Chain A
Amino acid sequence: MSTDILEDFTSQDYKYGFYTNIEADEAPPGLNEDIIAFISKKKNEPEWMLQWRLKAFACWKQMKEPHWAFVDYPPIDYNSIVYYSAPKQKKGPASLDEIDPEILKTYEKLGIPLNEQKALAGVAVDAVFDSVSVVTTFKKELEAVGVIFCSMSEAIQNHPELVRKYLGSVVPHSDNFFTALNSAVFTDGSFCYVPKGVRCPLELSTYFRINAAKTGQFERTLIVADEGSHVSYMEGCTAPMRDENQLHAAVVELVALGDAHIKYSTIQNWYPGDKDGKGGIYNFVTKRGLCAGDNAKISWTQVETGSSITWKYPSCILKGDNSVGEFYSVAITNNKQQADTGTKMIHIGKNTKSTIVSKGISAGRSQNAYRGLVKMMKSAEGARNFSQCDSMLMGNNCGAHTFPYIEVKNPTATVEHEASTSKIGEDQIFYCNQRGISTEDAVSMIVHGFCKEVLNELPMEFAVEARRLLEISLEGSVG
């Protein structure tokens, strides 16, 4: 089999790597109480929020950066990062017309339907540029059914009671090193509240963009689905190409009350660095969902193609009886990317059920690891888990690793874990070639087939993008 095709297939350039030259309002680099006060003041936050941040910062100072993940990177200097960078504007935008046309152009380049004209796409978007939310579309339509969908800073101003109640309830600020950092300096993010019994009429979506140099992006997303409600949320990310590494340490919290259903889909396409592993985003993210009530369901779907280092474990705490957690993931690493990703399913309630399907594809000189925990607590009577982790290796300079942890404290619980590692068979390629399918198409077909179970879980709008992304990420990877 020709390695050239593999090479071509894996070597396409990052097409979102442009930089938009707009004036930005920045904090000086560094991290101390003053910077946190500066951020809080900039955002006109109430006193309790500032105190919350300072508490998290005090906690962070006591913590050590963890190094148990199967990744390798030079030490991060937390004092050289710009913790606040916002596009300069006189006042908050009331409508799309008032937004800097440069920013709109950026989003257009990214193919995000920010314009109301593109309303047919039927997606409500909250766009976060560097550290602040730029615009949220379809607000009125959502308000009509009572859904609150806005930026986190707006939510702190307008819905402080909800924010105070749920912020940090799933991921406490002291959870780990990066959550503490995020809690101290987070600048914006998305907030969504779906009231009782409401089925959100639109797919909600957030697009994150890191633009300015030497900035870190620390966004915070909080989604609360009240009893019997239903919401589907999508998230996408890009960043310009830069030589230095940029840190992205986000926190996402989901709360599903009784009978509620949250579906969270991510397409993560941060800049992965160049072929030699120079530059790229460090994506150190904490995502966790709590099925607080009975029969709640949280479903994570992720397609991870970007970032030079990914370090992320979207988790579900299945507290309510009969609640369901799902995790579907495709992680693709190429060149010198490193990914250590997976999930945690904590079963607390009776008859809780979780499904994990993880597909890892490594190409080039990359390392791709699945790390997951399935924990059946003593109270998890009749709980069930099924996990499947498949890895595919393209070329012989990459690595695929699996680190599942299974802890069972209740004998009525059933846990099944399966993992396999394989490569694209020469016989498979031969079969396709014989039938007139080029090697490149054959690889693409086999990869899609390998990931199908996960891609099928994505909402329509994302599925198309994900498929395209898969092809781009792996161009030239046939071994």
Chain B
Amino acid sequence: MSATARKGAISEPKGIWVEKALAVARERQSATLPAAAQKLAHEAASVWGKLLFPTPSLEEWKYTNPEEIAAASLALPPAIPAQLSEDEIGRFCVPQLECSRLVFVDGHFSEKLSRMPSQAGLTVSRLQSGGEQPFGALKAHETEPFAALASALLSDGVCVSVQKNIAVTTPLHIIHLATKGAESCVITPRLFIEAGECSQVTVVESSVSIGAARYLSLPITEVRAAQGATVDLYKFQEESPGAFHVSNTDVEQSRDSTVRTHIFSFGGQLVRNNVNVRLAGSNCNAVLNGLSVLSSSQHVDNATMIHHIEPSSESREHFKGIYADKSRGVFSGTITVEQIAQKTNAFQSNQALLLSPNASLETRPQLKIWADDVKCTHGATVGQLNAEAMYYLRSRGIDRETARNFLVHAFASEVLTSVQLEPLKQYVEGVLSAKLDGEIGAN
């Protein structure tokens, strides 16, 4: 990939801000980060030097052009973060969800706003606090340009480590908040979930903003599930309409493990979610669901790869999108089944609902299969609201907007039903309703 990437890279002077940001990052890193993390940042910086910003001439970036990011002129956030009150953070918490909480403001950890978990067998440590840390173990930074950039600009991170046979009782909510201080800045949230043998953990990761209008968020999440572990990861993104968001989520599963990943995209101007799931053991179970609800000229690109490496695993992938105004949705989903991965069951579906005449969608559901005894299917549908269903509701005295909201909720419910945390499900439905009433209301 790197060879082709070089060919398609944007040359200077666009993206010149990166050079400056990298220099500042290096200085800060030498003061705050442990040696291993500095080494990671250094390696990633040299990878970035080869890859640079991708262009649509690359197949992986055919439908998403990060040119705007390259041209944006961004910097690192100020070294001293803004101070927020408990009330200000309250609106980003999920009501009725009993959870421990980690808050990062403009990329800086806020001890005051966080409520650290205290359960035997669960360790939550920060990158800056040192010790042996697995960050970068899943190697996204070696091939993916934005993962390389995020790793090179590394500032802090959270490692959630669960010991063997421990079920974490309360979910962990990690909030990445961008305030006014992050305006025109690049933040690099980082999370590593290390789930030990037969352990169980649920993590909710929110990317939200308050005050910052235009900034770049480059989160990297790594999940390593040992034999028999169960991990639920919910990624919730509702950033300002001018924000850029390029996330990388890498999951590696050992045998008999289950990882359920949900990706909710509501905000941002240009959003790209790279998700890479490696089923490196037999009898793994992977669920990868996504819901995007877009309006105005938002652009969300979900690029997912599910790699079946060993036999007898199952993956279920379901992405849905609701597109209003001039928004644009992109989905690229690849399922690869290696020759020895017999008895694989892989299901993928991508469904899109276009609510406006100017919304558009590009979808690429791809299968690469080298094993013969497998069941693999994929399906993609694109359409508008069913006119008959609409008529049915209208003829029963339900006004147009309510009827439409009914149908949109019904469309989204397939993804939402798989959310195991009831309060989170309610919360996401609430965000969906608010978006339907507010920004999408006029359609």
Residues in chain A within 8 A of chain B (CB atoms): 68, 376, 391, 393-423, 479
Task: Given A406-B382, A415-B381, answer yes or no on A423-B372 (Cβ-Cβ < 8 Å).
Answer: yes
B369 in complex: contacting residue of A394, A395, A400, A409, CB < 8 Å = A400
| B342 A396 Cβ-Cβ under 8 A | yes
Main secondary structure of the interface of B (DSSP, over half): strand
B413 interfacial contact with A, CB 8 Å: no
Near A by CB (< 8 A), chain B positions 342-381 give 342, 352, 354-357, 359-381
| A420 B364 Cβ-Cβ under 8 A | no
A408 to B359, CA, bound (A): 8
| B367 A419 Cβ-Cβ under 8 A | yes
| B376 A405 Cβ-Cβ under 8 A | no
B373 in complex: contacting residue of A396, A397, A411, CB < 8 Å = A396
Main secondary structure of the interface of A (DSSP, over half): strand
A68 in complex: contacting residue of B59, B339, B367, B384, CB < 8 Å = B59
Task: Given A419-B378, A419-B379, answer yes or no on A408-B354 (Cβ-Cβ < 8 Å).
Answer: yes
What is the CB-to-nearest-CB distance from B350 to chain A, in angstroms, rounded to a whole number? 9
Name which residue of chain A comes closest to B339, CB basis.
A396
| A394 B367 Cβ-Cβ under 8 A | no
| B382 A402 Cβ-Cβ under 8 A | no
| B373 A408 Cβ-Cβ under 8 A | no
Can you list 30 A-B pairs with a CB-CB distance of less than 8 A?
Answer: A395-B372, A396-B370, A396-B372, A396-B373, A399-B369, A399-B370, A400-B367, A402-B366, A403-B364, A405-B362, A405-B363, A405-B364, A407-B360, A411-B354, A411-B383, A413-B382, A413-B383, A415-B381, A416-B379, A417-B379, A417-B380, A418-B377, A419-B365, A419-B367, A419-B378, A420-B376, A421-B377, A422-B375, A423-B373, A479-B372
> Which residues of the other chain, B, contact A411 by a CB distance below 8 angstroms?
354-357, 359, 383-384
| A418 B379 Cβ-Cβ under 8 A | yes
| A410 B357 Cβ-Cβ under 8 A | yes
> Which residues of the other chain, B, contact A376 by a CB distance below 8 angstroms?
382
A414 to B387, CA, bound (A): 13
Near A by CB (< 8 A), chain B positions 207-237 give none
A407 in complex: contacting residue of B361, B369, B370, CB < 8 Å = B361
Task: Given A393-B372, A423-B372, answer yes or no on A417-B365 (Cβ-Cβ < 8 Å).
Answer: yes
| B369 A393 Cβ-Cβ under 8 A | yes
| B372 A394 Cβ-Cβ under 8 A | yes
Task: Given A400-B367, A402-B366, A419-B379, answer yes or no on A408-B352 (Cβ-Cβ < 8 Å).
Answer: yes
| A406 B364 Cβ-Cβ under 8 A | yes
> Which residues of the other chain, A, contact B367 by a CB distance below 8 angstroms?
391, 400-402, 419, 421
Residues in chain B within 8 A of chain A (CB atoms): 59, 339, 342, 352, 354-357, 359-384
Name which residue of chain B comes closest to A401, CB basis.
B368
Name which residue of chain A comes closest to B355, CB basis.
A411
A349 to B209, CA, bound (A): 43
| A397 B339 Cβ-Cβ under 8 A | yes
Looking at A393, A414, A417, the one whose CB has the most chain B CB atoms below 10 A away is A417
> Which residues of the other chain, B, contact A416 by a CB distance below 8 angstroms?
379-381
What is the CB-to-nearest-CB distance from B233 to chain A, in angstroms, rounded to a whole number? 28
| A407 B373 Cβ-Cβ under 8 A | no
What is the CB-to-nearest-CB distance from B32 to chain A, in angstroms, rounded to a whole number? 44
B382 in complex: contacting residue of A414, A419, A420, CB < 8 Å = A414
Name which residue of chain A comes closest to B359, CB basis.
A411
A421 to B369, CA, bound (A): 8
Name which residue of chain A comes closest to B340, CB basis.
A396
| A415 B382 Cβ-Cβ under 8 A | yes
| B378 A406 Cβ-Cβ under 8 A | no
> Which residues of the other chain, A, contact B355 by a CB distance below 8 angstroms?
411
> Which residues of the other chain, A, contact B366 by a CB distance below 8 angstroms?
401-404
| A417 B381 Cβ-Cβ under 8 A | yes
| B375 A404 Cβ-Cβ under 8 A | no
| B380 A406 Cβ-Cβ under 8 A | yes
A396 to B374, CA, bound (A): 10
| B377 A406 Cβ-Cβ under 8 A | no
| B362 A406 Cβ-Cβ under 8 A | yes
What is the CB-to-nearest-CB distance from B407 to chain A, in angstroms, rounded to a whole number? 14
A347 to B93, CA, bound (A): 46
A401 to B379, CA, bound (A): 14
Known A-B contacts: A408-B382, A411-B356, A420-B377. Give 4 more (CB < 8 A): A415-B380, A417-B365, A418-B379, A423-B373
A418 to B376, CA, bound (A): 11
What is the CB-to-nearest-CB distance from A333 to chain B, in angstroms, rounded to a whole number? 13
